[in-house]
Amino acid sequence: MSRIGKLPIDVPAGVTITVGESEITVEGPKGKLVVPHLSDVTVAVEDGQAKVTRKDDERIARAQHGLQRALLNNAVTGVTEGFEKKLEVNGVGFRVEGGGQEIKMALGFSHPVTYKAREGVQLEVNKMEITVKGIDKQTVGQTAAEIRALKKPEPYKGKGIKYADEVILRKAGKAGK
């Protein structure tokens, strides 16, 4: 039995889960998300809880059991609380401005870099910190990863864009004579 899959999902008040043949719709105060309904598991919503059970003990069913529960739990969390990732920009002469759907950055290139966010993701800029917010965990994480990839942190001075909780292992520079 999957350790993750067997845990019930608490459905808070104001959240409705509609189970269809090929997709599961989760609606809440922050919006609506659609999760694919995997073939070898069933989802039952009763008494304020959603439970995921597998149809048999085949390998694919065991694999989908925990996955379906995690996707559904992330959707419930997203429509109630939302997700956010924080990025820090470090470097002399680096600047970040804008917000909403688009930010402009000076990252040491010969040209300014403009990043336009995907649908359903909000960008907030506070000095040298970028906050990516949204209800879909995957989209928020992908957007944060794309922004980080514009200028990855380097190990000598730590210049670049890094996650707020990321630790950059520093290397020693050239040895003097």
Q: DSSP per residue over the chain, as a string?
A: --TTTTS-EE--TT-EEEE-SSEEEEEETTEEEEEE--TTEEEEEETTEEEEEESS--HHHHHHHHHHHHHHHHHHHHHHT-EEEEEEEESTT-EEEEEBTEEEEE-SSSS-EEEEPPTTEEEEEETTEEEEEES-HHHHHHHHHHHHHHSPPPTTT--EEEETT--PPP---PPP-
**Structural domain boundaries in the chain:** 9-80, 83-163
Say what the pLDDT of residue 99 is.
87
Residue 36 has pLDDT above 90, yes or no: yes
CATH says 9-80 is which class?
alpha beta
Domains 9-80 and 83-163 share a fold: yes
> What pLDDT is recorded for position 78?
95
Average pLDDT over residues 81-87: 96
- Taking 90 as the threshold, does the pLDDT of residue 177 lie above it? no
Q: Taking residues 143-156, report their average pLDDT.
A: 95
Q: Does position 27 have pLDDT exceeding 70, yes or no? A: yes
Assess whether pLDDT exceeds 90 at residue 44. Answer: yes
Q: What is the pLDDT of residue 30?
A: 94
Of all residues in the chain, what percent carry a pLDDT higher than 70? Answer: 98
**Topology of the domain comprising 83-163:** Outer Surface Protein A; domain 3 (3.90.930)
Quote the pLDDT of residue 130: 96
pLDDT, mean of residues 51-69: 93
Res. 2: pLDDT tops 80 = no
> Is 1's pLDDT higher than 70?
no
Q: What was the pLDDT predicted at 131?
A: 96
